[in-house]
Amino acid sequence: MAAQPSPKVPEIHIQNKQNPLEITKRFSPQDWDNLVNYQSSRCRAAAQAFIPFLETRHGQSFKALLTRELEAFSSFVGFGTLSIGPCIIIPECGKRLGILLLQDRLADKIALQDILQGPTIKADHVLFSYKGDWWSNFPPNSDPVISLGENIKLWIWQRRTMAFAPSSAPTLSLTLKQLTSEEIVEALQIAKMGAAELDIEIKHNSEDQELIKTKIMQIGSLLKDLEQYRKCKDL
C-alpha cells in the first residue's frame, strides 16, 4: 500500500502591522496546544543553557530573559484556556519551571536540574534549533525581543517545519512543498548545524548514545531530502 502523504499544515498569515495576538481568534484547539508545547520547549532549551551561567556575572541578565520566556508560556496557557476551555494539556516542563518562577527559585541549580533531567518532561523535547534563539550564544549583541506577539511569529515560522510528538525521541517532519527556496537553504543550514552539534554531543554523553544516533539518522535523512528538493527547485 502506498504511503499516505503527510497532512498539510494549515497556513497562518500575519498581515503587515497586524497585531499577532489578533490571529489567535482563529486558533483551533490544536493550534493552541502546539503553541503552548513550542513555548514550553523554548523554555526548556533556555533553562538548560542557563545552568552554566548561574554563578557568573551574566546570571541575572540570563535569568531576566528566561523569566520573559516563562511569562510568555504562562500567558499562552492562560489565553488558550480562556479561548477554548480547560482542554489544553500543560507541558510538564513549562509548568514546573513556571512554579519555580512563582517561588522565586529560578536560580536554584538543584531544582532546575531535577526538572530538566526528570523523566516526566520527555514530551517537552528540545528542538534541534530555534528561530530567535538568544541563549545559545549568550550574552546576545542586542536585547532580544521576547513578547507574546514576537513568540507567536516565531512559532508560525517553525510550525511549518517542526512537529511535536509525545515520545522521548525528538521527531522532525518537513513539508517541503510549502517552503520557498530561501527557507529551504535556511532549513538546510539549520540541519547541518544540528548534525555538527550532535556529533559533539555523542562524544560527551555516553548515556544517551542510542537516542543521539537516532537523531543523527533523522538529520541525515533530512539533509538528503533537502539537497534533492533544492536541486529540483533550481531546475
Mean pLDDT across 130-142: 89
Task: Report CA Rg, the chain.
Answer: 18
pLDDT at 41: 92
CB atoms within 10 A of CB 91: 25
pLDDT at 167: 34
Cell 533537502 found at? 226
Summarize the chain as % helix, strand, coil (round to 5). Answer: 65, 0, 35
Alpha carbon 220 to chain centroid, angstroms: 20
Whether pLDDT at 113 is above 50 = yes
Burial class of residue 129 in the structure, from the number of CB atoms within 10 Å of its CB (0-12 exposed, 13-18 middle, 19+ buried): middle
Torsional sign, CA 136, 142, 143, 144:
negative
Mean pLDDT across the chain, nearest whole number?
76
More confident residue, 184 or 197: 184
Each domain of the chain, given as residue ranges in start order, spans 19-126+143-159, 162-235
pLDDT tens, 86-112?
Answer: 888 888 899 999 999 999 999 999 999
**pLDDT-above-70 percentage for the chain:** 62
Q: How confident is the model at residue 49 (pLDDT cuts 50, 70, 90)?
A: very high
Whether pLDDT at 114 is above 80 = yes
Whether pLDDT at 229 is above 60 = yes
Q: How confident is the model at residue 208 (pLDDT cuts 50, 70, 90)?
A: low
Whether pLDDT at 177 is above 70 = no
pLDDT at 26: 85
